[in-house]
Amino acid sequence: MEIESVIGLEIHTELSTRSKMFCSCSTRFGSSPNTQVCPVCLGLPGVLPVVNEEAVKIGIKTCLALNCEINRYTRFDRKNYYYPDLPKNYQISQQYIPIGVDGWVEFEVGEEVKRVRIHNVHLEEDAGKNVHEEGKNFSLVDLNRAGIPLLEIVTYPDMRSMEEVNSFMNELRNILIYIGASNCKMEEGHLRFEANVSIREKGSEELGPKVEMKNLNSFKSVLQALEYEIERQGARLRRGKPIYQETRLWNEEKGESYPMRFKEEAQDYRYFPEPDIPPLEISETMIEDIRATLPELPLKKRERFVKEYGLSKREAGVLVEEKEISCFFEEVVKACPHPRVVVNWIMGPVMRELNERGLTIGESKVTAAKLARLLEMVKSNLITQTNAKYCLHEIFDSGEEPEKIVQKRGWTQVTDAEEIEKIVREAILKNPRAVEDIKNGKKTAFGFLIGQVMKLSQGKANPGKVREILERELGSSSKGEG
Amino acid sequence: MSKLPFLPAHVLSGMVRKGEISFSDITSEVIARLEAQDKSINAYISRRLEAAREEAKALDESLARGEDLPPLAGIPLAVKDNICTQGFLTTCASKILYNFVPPYNATVVEKIKKEKMIIIGKTNMDEFAMGSSTENSYFGTTRNPWDYQRVPGGSSGGSTAAVAAGESIVALGSDTGGSIRQPASFCSVTGLKPTYGRVSRYGLVAFASSLDQIGPIARDVKDAYLLLKVIGGYDRCDSTSLPLPLPEEQLNGKVRGKILGLPKEYFSEGIDPKVKEIVEKAIKIWQEMGCIVKEITLPHTKYSVATYYIVAPCEASSNLARYDGVQYGFRNPEYTITGQNPVIDMMEETRDNGFGSEVKRRIMLGTFTLSHGYFEAYYLKAQKVRTLIKEDFEKAFQSCDFIVTPVSPTPPFKIGEKISDPLKMYLSDIFTIPVNLAGLPALSIPGGFTEQNLPVGVQIIGKPLDEYGILNLGFAFQEATDFHKRSPHGN
């Protein structure tokens, strides 16, 4: 029996607003406990929430990017439950009329474009954090995070494999970054997941009992937890044991999940409309104004890169993966209209430098203009590929202009035939054995000799010219070597 | 005994400016009344008498320097203890907040301070404003200054008793289902519940958010109007506050030709005959001024108490969830730390020992009606009925300018009389509750006295935002009568 898994995700994403959802406290990460709090986010008696307009706008923008319908009349609701990190013992969320419904995300899985439908998108506030210190008989509560705006994105159970889940999460993350909704820093908890999964015989239309998985704080834990769960359910199915509808907590360290206790699971959140916040009316103008600010989304950008610049799907994928890189690419191409050269340089030396230095392109000293001018020099044979790479390295170090570096280092390429002839002759004189070998048909010796010429020219000789002249001087026919 | 504590603010203000008395005189006399009788009345939970004296003195000095002062500067004010005062105890008359000192001021308190009014103290109330008698207080019952054996009404009973007894000149109360108007009626003072959204709720400890409204309690309509102008207006900290200007016209008592609607449902069985008589007499006085009287109908009135006791407890059960012993207020010292879930144990025991029985009853009611499977049948249904009640008023106001009714079906009742029968207690708010459900402004003014010298109030309900209209109708009545000038000590 071939088993198919049916997977849906809930994604909690922390929005990139400067202030909290219902008060003006800062959302900065990593401050000392309870320093970014006020009566409102502490939930003191008598306080009232005031909706952060920026968060609503980002919510709408996200809905538009996810092809959702915007509820023109949207409302907040209270989700009631007791927990020490929840100062009011209710969370302001959106249960009945969320900001957006019925959208979808399209993304590529291999050669295919896959669509996952979005059930709803809603705004809510984050809770604080309980801190349990080893050996203490008390816990501490940090409320800096309480009230930070979250957007929860709920999908339909439209995913069927780990590969789809992975691609979906990547695509969604990219979209959120592209539209500026969230910085999606995993280590700061900007993206948190809940997953639900059931299994069934492939081809069946019925859904099996749904198991919900909580506490998934990275892509890795989503994938591991799902794999674990699918395996667990599969084993039960094969042994003829029943699968129960339940909620399970993922334990990252142990790499296993365990069922939540009944008491934890059987929550009745007693949702009801938040009386402190009148319903929001979202005008057509507001929606259109926000729509006008939507940037090109990753999928469209990839398609355009393939078409417009003649890139391969893989290349387009790598560039578009990081919004900054894709913008950088286009800027460079604007000044140096050789997309193939540019893509090779960005995916090669530039990314290598970035990785080694642990920087993003924006943080580095390389600008699109500098790279473009460097590549123009390569293109017009003013500098060799090898020296261009050294030059790039130096730009990364100092941010100096490429022309200055090349001049300072004397890397201007020698293309003058006479000058190269001189060096070639010198190399021939110095390496009689290699010349002998070439004459005896040993092809590798030709490459060796080119190397010697380059060395004598301190890397400045144009390799094409060197080959041409060397061939002529030796009168050999050893072509295609290098 | 000095007459000063029984004069309205607008008169006192004039006397100060004419140099007949000083701000210090007013404050000292009020404090003298408080010290003489509050042990018996128990209108205040906490006091700031020394600070009040100093503030009065400073204002006298300002005045002597010729500085301009706002109209209500130097007027003693009592604040209901569910309104947050920075650095000063705010208990909601509950054990669970017995030690809570807010780090911020309610918007109305900020405005009071800007007006340079003098806060005498925080007044007693039913715990979390849940009750109609001020008997549900952790700090003991407040007594009615007109008859110590009787309740002052509630939940703002401390505020109305303080004004009635000359322990303050004006006061702030809050009204969720009648909590300003019913005690105003019981204590023979003037109380206004403004249109929902007129006065910021920021800093008012929430009971039922969609019904709560802060309002002025005063000796007469003129003072109530002055105080409304101080505390009202849009506040960006309260998303439900209305971005509309407050009325500015002077009260002129011109009411000729105004149509008074008398809802037949409010004058039927269950109403004390003496109350009925007093309200009818009041109506006659208005008729003599040229008002036209008309019977109207508010057919859904009979559902209002039931509706209220679903909506209000639902919101309360959520609003009061935060009192769990974690961050502030009372924490039960003997929670079982070794239990399965010590945090939950701590919360449960804190709430069990921190809340009084009426509050617990309403939390349970609300928790039940919001729970899975009941939400639609109770909460959503109640919201629909609420809309019908609102529409009743809209229709009625198409054919009248004001609606005149009793405030409470009875004069002040005896302490202990209804406390063990919640349903009876709930029904004492039957004439005030529909107004909150509809969000309308309503005024309670002294209408007369029973043979036993017990006060009876008259309620004037207005169209949304028509505070001026109802105050002006009340003003006309007070120009023609002297009930509002009587004090429990005779005049």
Encode pLDDT of A426-455 as tens digits. 888 888 888 888 888 887 888 888 888 888
Chain B segment 41-100 residues within 8 A of A by beta carbon are 82-84, 90, 92, 97, 100
Do B205 and A46 make contact, defined as CB atoms within 8 angstroms? yes
- Chain A and chain B share a number of CB contacts under 8 A equal to 102
Q: Which two tokens stand for residue B60?
A: 């006298």
Distance CA A87, CA B162 (A): 35
> Is B318 near chain A, with CB under 8 Å?
yes
Q: Which two tokens stand for residue A478?
A: 């050893």
Encode pLDDT of B369-390 as tens digits. 999 999 999 999 999 999 999 9
A45, A276, A277 member nearest B97 (Cβ): A45
Do B322 and A88 make contact, defined as CB atoms within 8 angstroms? yes
A46, A275, A278 member nearest B315 (Cβ): A275
A88, A268, A276 member nearest B371 (Cβ): A268
Encode pLDDT of B255-281 as tens digits. 999 999 999 999 877 899 999 999 999
Do A87 and B97 make contact, defined as CB atoms within 8 angstroms? no
Distance CA A59, CA A290 (A): 10
Distance CA B428, CA B444 (A): 15
pLDDT attached to residue B336: 62
Q: Which chain B positions have a beta carbon within 8 Å of A141's beta carbon?
A: 326-327
Do B326 and A141 make contact, defined as CB atoms within 8 angstroms? yes
Measured in residues, chain B has a length of 491
Reported as a pLDDT band with limits 50, 70 and 90, residue B491 is very low
Interface predicted TM-score (ipTM) of this complex, two decimals: 0.96
Side-by-side strand order, sheet with A211-216 = A69-70, A100-109, A112-125, A149-155, A3-14, A191-201, A211-216, A246-251, A256-259
Would strands A100-109 and A69-70 be described as parallel, antiparallel, or unpaired? antiparallel
Distance CA B178, CA B270 (A): 18
B295 part of a folded domain: no
Residue B98 pLDDT > 50, yes or no? Answer: yes
User: Which phi and psi (to 5°) does residue A74 adopt?
Assistant: -125, 160
Closest CA to B154 of B462, B432, B446: B432
Give the mean model confidence (pLDDT) for residues B116-130: 98
User: Is the distance from CB of B454 to CB of B150 less than 8 angstroms?
Assistant: yes
The chain B residue lying nearest A137, using CA atoms, is B337
Residue A129: its H or E element: strand A129-132
Together in a domain, B335 and B472: no
Give the mean model confidence (pLDDT) for residues B299-327: 97
Distance of CA B270 to the CA centre of its chain: 24
Structural domain of residue B429, as residue ranges?
A: 4-257+404-485
- B334 burial type by CB count under 10 A (0-12 exposed, 13-18 middle, 19+ buried): exposed
Distance CA A398, CA A415 (A): 28
b vs e for A230-262, b when ≥16 Cβ sit within 10 Å of the residue's Cβ? bebbeeebeeeeebeeebbbbeeeeeebeebee
Together in a domain, B80 and B126: yes
Q: Is B155 annotated in the active site?
A: yes
> Is B465 near chain A, with CB under 8 Å?
no
Do A45 and B322 make contact, defined as CB atoms within 8 angstroms? yes
Give the mean model confidence (pLDDT) for residues A84-89: 96
- CA angle B301–B305–B307, rounded 5-degree value: 90
B263 part of a folded domain: no
Distance (Å) from the C-alpha of residue A58 to the closest C-alpha of chain B? 20
B92, B102, B240 member nearest A44 (Cβ): B102
Together in a domain, B364 and B436: no
pLDDT attached to residue A24: 97
Distance (Å) from the C-alpha of residue B481 to the closest C-alpha of chain A? 39
Encode pLDDT of A30-64 as tens digits. 899 999 999 999 999 999 999 999 999 999 999 99
Do A270 and B370 make contact, defined as CB atoms within 8 angstroms? yes
* Residue that is last in its domain, among B348, B383, B418: B383
The one catalytic residue among B13, B22, B24, B80:
B80
Percent of chain B with pLDDT over 90: 93
> Is B314 near chain A, with CB under 8 Å?
yes
Distance of CA B29 to the CA centre of its chain: 24
Chain B segment 101-140 residues within 8 A of A by beta carbon are 102-104, 106
Distance CA B122, CA B90 (A): 8
Residue B65 pLDDT > 50, yes or no? Answer: yes
What is the total count of domains within chain B?
2
Q: Is the dihedral of CA A186, A192, A198, A202 positive or negative?
A: negative
CA A87, A92, A93, A97: dihedral to nearest 10 degrees?
Answer: 160
Q: Which chain A positions have a beta carbon within 8 Å of B323's beta carbon?
A: 45
Three-state DSSP at B130 gives coil
Closest CA to B257 of B294, B289, B296: B289
Distance CA B141, CA B157 (A): 9
Give the mean model confidence (pLDDT) for residues A371-384: 87
B289 part of a folded domain: no
Do A46 and B328 make contact, defined as CB atoms within 8 angstroms? no
A44, A84, A272 member nearest B326 (Cβ): A84
Bond prior to B28 in cis (omega within 30° of 0): no
Q: Which two tokens stand for residue A133?
A: 């210190």
Residue B306 pLDDT > 90, yes or no? Answer: yes
Give me chain A's average pLDDT, please: 91
Together in a domain, B409 and B379: no
B84, B322, B372 member nearest A43 (Cβ): B322
Reported as a pLDDT band with limits 50, 70 and 90, residue A381 is confident
Together in a domain, B312 and B433: no
- Which residues touch B125 (CB under 8 Å, ≥6 apart)? B80, B81, B82, B92, B93, B134, B137, B154, B155, B156, B157, B158, B159, B179
Best of B242, B322, B384 to disrupt the A interface (most A CBs within 10 Å) is B322
Do B318 and A271 make contact, defined as CB atoms within 8 angstroms? no
Do B92 and A45 make contact, defined as CB atoms within 8 angstroms? yes
Distance CA A315, CA B97 (A): 64
Three-state DSSP at A328 gives helix
B214 part of a folded domain: yes
> Is B250 near chain A, with CB under 8 Å?
no
Reported as a pLDDT band with limits 50, 70 and 90, residue A133 is confident
Together in a domain, B371 and B419: no
b vs e for B79-101, b when ≥16 Cβ sit within 10 Å of the residue's Cβ? bbbbbbbeebbbbbbbbbbbebe
What CATH number has the domain spanning A417-474? 1.10.10.410
> Is B379 near chain A, with CB under 8 Å?
yes
Give me chain B's average pLDDT, please: 96
User: Is the distance from CB of A10 to CB of A222 less than 8 angstroms?
Assistant: no
Residue B3 pLDDT > 80, yes or no? Answer: yes
- Which residues touch A75 (CB under 8 Å, ≥6 apart)? A94, A96, A97, A273, A274, A277, A279, A280
Do A80 and B321 make contact, defined as CB atoms within 8 angstroms? yes
Distance CA A471, CA A469 (A): 5
Residue A65 pLDDT > 90, yes or no? Answer: yes
Best of B91, B96, B324, B368 to disrupt the A interface (most A CBs within 10 Å) is B324
Distance CA A455, CA A466 (A): 12
Distance CA B425, CA A403 (A): 90
> Is B439 near chain A, with CB under 8 Å?
no
| H-helix segments, B101-248 | 107-114, 157-164, 181-187, 221-231
Distance (Å) from the C-alpha of residue A181 to the closest C-alpha of chain B? 25
Together in a domain, B410 and B376: no
A45, A46, A270 member nearest B367 (Cβ): A270
Which residue do the tokens 């301190």 mark?
A: A458
User: Is the distance from CB of A385 to CB of A377 less than 8 angstroms?
Assistant: no
Q: Is the dihedral of CA B453, B93, A39, B99 positive or negative?
A: positive
The one catalytic residue among B94, B155, B156, B241:
B155
A48, A88, A89 member nearest B201 (Cβ): A48
The structural domains of chain A, with segments of one domain joined by +, span 3-290, 298-409, 417-474
Together in a domain, B329 and B234: no
For residues B226 and A406, the model is more confident at B226
Give the mean model confidence (pLDDT) for residues A113-137: 93
Distance (Å) from the C-alpha of residue B83 to the closest C-alpha of chain A? 8
Distance CA B104, CA B203 (A): 8
pLDDT attached to residue A266: 62
Reported as a pLDDT band with limits 50, 70 and 90, residue B337 is low
The one catalytic residue among B24, B133, B174, B179:
B179
Distance (Å) from the C-alpha of residue B167 to the closest C-alpha of chain A? 26
Q: Which two tokens stand for residue B145?
A: 């200054």
Together in a domain, B350 and B213: no
Together in a domain, B419 and B464: yes
Q: Could you tell me the CATH number of the domain that includes residue B178?
A: 3.90.1300.10
pLDDT attached to residue A440: 83
DSSP string computed for B219-242: SSHHHHHHHHHHHBS--TT-TTS-
User: Is the distance from CB of B346 to CB of A138 less than 8 angstroms?
Assistant: no
Do B83 and A43 make contact, defined as CB atoms within 8 angstroms? no
pLDDT attached to residue A452: 86
Distance (Å) from the C-alpha of residue A46 to the closest C-alpha of chain B? 4
Q: Is B95 annotated in the active site?
A: no
The chain B residue lying nearest A92, using CA atoms, is B318
A39, A137, A270 member nearest B103 (Cβ): A39
The chain A residue lying nearest B211, using CA atoms, is A275
Helix axes A53-65, A284-291, angle to 10 degrees: 70
Residue B131 pLDDT > 70, yes or no? Answer: yes
Q: Which positions in chain A have a beta carbon within 8 angstroms of at least one beta carbon in chain B?
A: 39, 42-51, 78, 80, 82, 84, 87-90, 137, 139, 141, 268, 270-272, 275-278
